[in-house]
Structure 1
Amino acid sequence: METQAIRFFYRGRVHEVTDQATTRTVLQYTREDLHCTGTKEGCAEGDCGACTVVIGELADDGGVALRAVNSCIQFLPTLDGRALFTVEDLRQADGALHPVQQALVDCHGSQCGFCTPGFVMSLWAMYVNRPEAAGCPSRREIDDVLSGNLCRCTGYRPIVDAGQQMFNLPRAEFDRAALAKQLQALQRGDMLSYEFDGHTFHAPRTLAELGELRARFQEARILAGSTDVGLWVTKQFRDLKHLIYIGQVNELREVARQGDALYIGAGALLNDAYDALIIHYPELAELRQRFASFPIRNAGTLGGNVANGSPIGDSMPALIALRTQIVLHRAGVTREMPLEDFYLAYQKTALEAGEFVQGIRVPLPQAGQHFRTYKLAKRFDQDISAVCAAFAVTLDGGNVTSARVAFGGMAATPKRGAAVEAALVGQPWNEATARAAMAALPADYQPLSDMRATSGYRLAGAQNLLYRFFLETRPDAPLSAQEVNAFAFA
C-alpha cells in the first residue's frame, strides 16, 4: 500500500505529517516539532496528567466528542481525522484568559505551575462538555475529572474551587458546529496506511478491513487506547514494527442490548462501557470511579483491558462473576467462550493466530441475584489493585442456588474460586456459610508477595471482602454501603 499523510486539525488549520515515526507521541510532536510547549512531560506513562490534552472527533450523531487524554502515551498517527487541543488554544480572541484559566488565577490554584496546563485541559474538557443548564458540578464530579492530574505543591482545594468558580464567570462559547465541518472534511473513505523508516501503521475503518489485515499480518501489534502499549515505547523502548489501530472501526465501538445481554465492542472506551454497564449493574459505580483515571478511561478500551489478560486487571473479576462471554474474530468468522476460559496462564490467552477480540456479552441481572465488586489498593484513585474481588450469588428462599466468585491479584490470571463456590451453593446464606466459604479460599488461591502487598495481606483481604459481601447481602439486617465503606465517611 502507498503511504499516506497523517492529517489532523490543530490551532485553526489542518496539519499533514509524513516524516515522523509511527510511535512518536503526540506530546513529543507538539513540543519538539510544533514548538507548543505549554503541555508538559512528567512521568511519560499517563499517571501525572501534566501532558493532558483534549482530542476532538466526530460522534455518531454528526456532532463532536471532546475527551481529555494523556498525550505522553498517544501515538501521533492516532490523531488522523481528529482535532487536537492544547493549553495554547484557550486564549480568547481579545487576548483574555479563558474562564478555566481565570478561575485558577482567582482561586490561587497554581504555585510552581508545571502541572497547571494539565489541570486546565481536564477542566476545559469538563467546561465544554457540561450543559450550561447543569450549573456548577459537585466536588465529587470535579474530583473524578481530575483523578488523572497530580499536583505536588498547590494542594487540591483551590483547584477544585476553580472547577466550580469557572462556571460563575462570563461564559466562553465553543463552536462545535464549525469543528464538525473541519473534521468532516478530514474523514477518509479508506483506511490510513502510513509508513516511515521501515515501520508501518494501519488504521482500518471497518471490521472486514481489520479482519483482513489481522489475517495477513499476524505478527502485527493491535493498538487500541495505547494506555498499555504506549508504555512499551516510553518506558521499555520497544521497537514496534507494525501497528494495527482499531480506533477508527466504528463497529468495534458498538454498545447495545442484544436480547438478555449487553454487548460491548472491543473498541468501546472504558468510560462509555462502564456508563452502559452501570445502568444494569449500579454496583459497578465505585469500581468505575477507581479504575485508572478519567483521561485513561477516555482513551483505554474495555476490550483492550480484557485482551491484555493482566492478573491485576480490574474489569475481569466482575465480568467473570457476571458470566460474560468473549467474542473472538478471525477473517469474518467469530467464536465465543466464557471469559474465564480465555485466560490460560500468565500473559497467555486462547487467542489463535490471526484472531482478535471483537467484543464481550454481559448477561443482564437475574432475579434473586446479588452482585458486588471491591478493590483494595494503596490509593483511592488511579492505583493498581492489590486485590480485586467480585461476587455474584443468587438466592432462593434464603438458600444459595448459584455462586460465582472471581479475584484479580490472587493468581497468575483472573481466576474463579471453585472451592469457595462449592462451599456456598446449596447452603443457607448465613454467617456459618460465609465463614465456611472464607475458610475454603486458600484452596483456590495462593497469592504472591510483591511491592503492592504480601501474600498474607492478599489472602486476609480477600477473605474479609467475602465477609463484607455477606454483611451487605445477608437476608436479615444487611448493612448499607455507608456502614461498610471507609471512603463513605471521608
Structure 2
Amino acid sequence: MTVVRDTIRFWRNGQAVEVSGFHPRTTLLDYLRLQERRVGTKEGCAEGDCGACTVALGRVRGGRIRYEPINACILLLGQIDGAELVTVEDLAANGDLHPVQSAMVAHHGSQCGFCTPGIVMSLFTLYHEGERPLSRDSVNDALAGNLCRCTGYRPIVDAALQACSRQADDSFSANGERTVQRLMSLADGRDVFVGNESRFFAAPASEASLAALYARHPDATLVAGCTDVGLWITKAMMEIEKIIWLGRVAGLDLIEDSLDKLGIGATVTHAEIHPSFARIDPDLGEIMRRFGSVQVRASGTVGGSIANGSPIGDLAPALIALGAVLELRQGDATRSLPLEDFFIAYRRQDRKPGEFVRRVMVPKLNANEAFRAYKISKRFDEDISSALGAFRFKLDGRRIADARVAFGGMAGTPKRAAETERALIGLSLDEPSSWGEAMAAVARDYQPLDDHRASSVYRSTVARNLVFKALSETASGDTRATRIVAQRDALEAAE
C-alpha cells in the first residue's frame, strides 16, 4: 500500500518548510503575501502576463540546482513541493545587494518600483542560467514576460548586460551542492494528498497512483503547469474543489529521442522541449521561443497545452502538421490516436472520464520533407496568436507529393486543412502561377469568427497568404527575404 503524505515540503532560506491544511486553490502569491507576509512579490495582472509576481523556483536538473522564473499569481502553492523557493527579499546577503540589484540601481532601472521585484527575479534566473557571452536579444527574451511602464527597457537591459554576463558568484551558487542535497532529501517518492474526499490537492508520485486517483475522482481538475487553470481561479473565479497536480508523477517528465521521432511525456515543459523541437526544424524552435514568456515556458507543459484544447494554442497545429500521435491512459488501459482526432469541438476532446494524456509521439522530418510554421499576432513577444499556420511538404524533386497543413485560431479547434492539402498535391514549386487553387482552398476549410484578436476577413486573408509564403520559402530554400527577424539581423550586420 502506498504511503501518503498530507503536507507539501519545500526549502526556504536554508530551512525546510512543511505546509498542511491549505485550500487546493491557494496560489503561491496569496501564500507569500497573506501567510508569510512577504509583500515584495506584487500582484499585477493576476494572469501571468505582467511579471510583477515573478519568483524563482530551484529544482535539481541533471545533478545540479537550476533556478527558473515562475508567475506566482497563477502557480498553486502545492506545486512548489520539492523545490527551493526564492523571492526578492532573499537575494541580499549580509547587508549587500545582489549583483543584479546593484546593477539595477547603477543603471537607473527602476522608478515607481512596482514591477522591479519581478524584473529582478527574472534577471536573477538569467544571472544563473544565461548564455555566456550574453547578448541583448537573449536579455530581451528573458524579460519578455516582465512589463515596465515607467522606466522603459533600455536601462534594465543595460543592467542585465552588466550583471549577467559573468559567471554566477553569489550565495546561491556557493551553496549549490548543499542545496542539491537538501532538495534530494525531500524526494521521498510518496503520494501527496492534502484535504479530504470532497476537497483536496493531490500530487501522485506514479502513473499507477494517478490512474487510480483519477478513476476514483473523474470530476477532479488535472493540473500540469497551471498556466491556464490558474486563470480559471484568478479570473473566472471557478470553485475548483479537487485538484490533481501531475508534476510529481515519475516518467511523465521524460523525453525519448530516437532516430525518427520524439516521445514527449505529458509534464515535459515548453522550456525543456524547446531544444529538441528546434532540432526538428528551426521554425518549430522559433514558435516555442515565442510561446508565452520564459515564466510561462518554465511552467507550461506539452501535455497541458494539448489537453487544454485551446483553439488558439500554438503547439497543437504545429504537431498536427508533423503527424503527432497522442497516448492516453484510463485505469490500466492505454490507447493511441492521431492528435487531430483528439479535438472534437471547442474545449471538447476525445477523452473519457478518468482518462489523461500521458505522452505525445512526434515524427521527425525525412530528408525529402520541408516544414514551415508561422505565428501571427499583434505583438511579437508573449501574445496570443490571431492565427498559426503549419505546413509539412513531402517532395518528389520539385513537386509536392504529399502535404499536411494545420491552422490554429481559424476554427473552434486546431484543425487540418483537408481541402488545401488536396489542392497542394502535385503542385510544382517552379510554377507559382499554379498555386492559386491551393490558396483559394483555405476558404473551404475554414470560416473563422470575428473576435477581439482578428476579424474573419483578416484571418482568411492571412491563411491564404501563408500558403503562398510556405510554398515560396520551400521553393527558394531561403527565408531571409520573408522573415522580420532575418531582415532585422541583416540591417544590424550592415550597421
TM-score (norm: length of structure 2): 0.94
Give the letter aligned to residue 456 of structure 1: V
Give the letter aligned to residue 49 of structure 2: D
Counterpart of 1:434 in structure 2 is 435
Any conservation in 1 of the 2:58–2:84 contact (CA below 8 Å)?
yes
Counterpart of 1:14 in structure 2 is 16
Distance 2:484 2:454 in 1: 19
Distance 1:288 1:77 in 2: 27
Distance 2:388 2:418 in 1: 17
Distance 1:146 1:251 in 2: 31
3-state SS of paired residue (1:482): coil
3-state SS of paired residue (1:36): coil
Distance 1:433 1:194 in 2: 63
Counterpart of 2:191 in structure 1 is 191
Q: Deviations over 1:65-98 (max 9, x none)?
A: 32111000111111122110001110022x1111
Give the RMSD, CA atoms, in angstroms: 1.7
3-state SS of paired residue (2:251): helix
1:157 paired residue among 119, 132, 154: 154
Gap runs ≥5 in structure 2: 489-495
Moved more, 322-331 or 176-185: 176-185
Moved more, 114-123 or 258-267: 258-267
Counterpart of 2:85 in structure 1 is 84
Counterpart of 1:177 in structure 2 is 177
Counterpart of 1:483 in structure 2 is 481
Q: How does 1:401-416 map to 2 (within 5 A)?
A: 401-416=401-416
Distance 1:211 1:360 in 2: 18
Counterpart of 1:219 in structure 2 is 219
Distance 2:201 2:105 in 1: 42
Any conservation in 2 of the 1:482–1:489 contact (CA below 8 Å)?
yes
Are residue 127 (structure 1) and residue 124 (structure 2) matched? no
Structure 1 residue 108: Cα displacement: 1.1
Distance 1:62 1:171 in 2: 19
Are residue 254 (structure 1) and residue 254 (structure 2) matched? yes
Q: Deviations over 1:9-48 (max 9, x none)?
A: 1122122212421111111111111111111110010000
Give the letter aligned to residue 38 of structure 2: C
Counterpart of 1:377 in structure 2 is 377
Structure 1 residue 198: Cα displacement: 5.0
Structure 1 residue 246: Cα displacement: 0.4
Counterpart of 1:469 in structure 2 is 470
Any conservation in 1 of the 2:405–2:420 contact (CA below 8 Å)?
yes
Q: How does 1:24-39 map to 2 (within 5 A)?
A: 24-39=26-41
Give the letter aligned to residue 144 of structure 1: D
3-state SS of paired residue (1:252): coil
Structure 1 residue 285: Cα displacement: 2.3
Give the letter aligned to residue 367 of structure 1: A
Q: How does 1:87-106 map to 2 (within 5 A)?
A: 87-93=88-94, 95-106=95-106
Distance 2:441 2:474 in 1: 20
Give the letter aligned to residue 155 of structure 1: G
Identity of aligned residues (%): 44
Counterpart of 1:245 in structure 2 is 245
Structure 1 residue 408: Cα displacement: 0.5
Counterpart of 2:50 in structure 1 is 48
Q: Deviations over 1:321-359 (max 9, x none)?
A: 000001111123211111001111111111112210001
Distance 2:201 2:256 in 1: 30
3-state SS of paired residue (1:244): strand
Structure 1 residue 425: Cα displacement: 0.8
Structure 1 residue 479: Cα displacement: 6.4
Q: Deviations over 1:110-130 (max 9, x none)?
A: 111110110111110011124
Distance 2:177 2:372 in 1: 42
Counterpart of 1:303 in structure 2 is 303
Distance 2:320 2:292 in 1: 20
Moved more, 258-267 or 358-367: 258-267
TM-score (norm: length of structure 1): 0.95
Are residue 449 (structure 1) and residue 441 (structure 2) matched? no
3-state SS of paired residue (1:117): helix
Moved more, 4-13 or 364-373: 4-13
Any conservation in 2 of the 1:330–1:354 contact (CA below 8 Å)?
yes
Any conservation in 1 of the 2:423–2:441 contact (CA below 8 Å)?
yes
3-state SS of paired residue (1:291): coil
Moved more, 233-242 or 12-21: 12-21
Q: How does 1:322-333 map to 2 (within 5 A)?
A: 322-333=322-333
Distance 1:479 1:365 in 2: 16
Distance 1:374 1:313 in 2: 13
Counterpart of 2:361 in structure 1 is 361
Any conservation in 1 of the 2:126–2:164 contact (CA below 8 Å)?
no
Any conservation in 2 of the 1:423–1:433 contact (CA below 8 Å)?
no
Distance 2:211 2:154 in 1: 49
Counterpart of 2:71 in structure 1 is 70
- The runs of at least 4 aligned residues of structure 1 exceeding 6 Å deviation read none
3-state SS of paired residue (1:312): coil
3-state SS of paired residue (1:33): helix
Distance 1:203 1:5 in 2: 10
Give the letter aligned to residue 161 of structure 2: Q
Moved more, 241-250 or 432-441: 432-441
Gap runs ≥5 in structure 1: none
Any conservation in 1 of the 2:52–2:115 contact (CA below 8 Å)?
yes
Give the letter aligned to residue 150 of structure 2: C
Structure 1 residue 435: Cα displacement: 1.8
3-state SS of paired residue (2:138): helix
Distance 1:127 1:431 in 2: 49
Distance 2:242 2:35 in 1: 23
Any conservation in 1 of the 2:4–2:190 contact (CA below 8 Å)?
no
Structure 1 residue 412: Cα displacement: 0.9
Distance 1:367 1:487 in 2: 26
Structure 1 residue 8: Cα displacement: 1.3
3-state SS of paired residue (1:65): strand
Give the letter aligned to residue 343 of structure 1: F
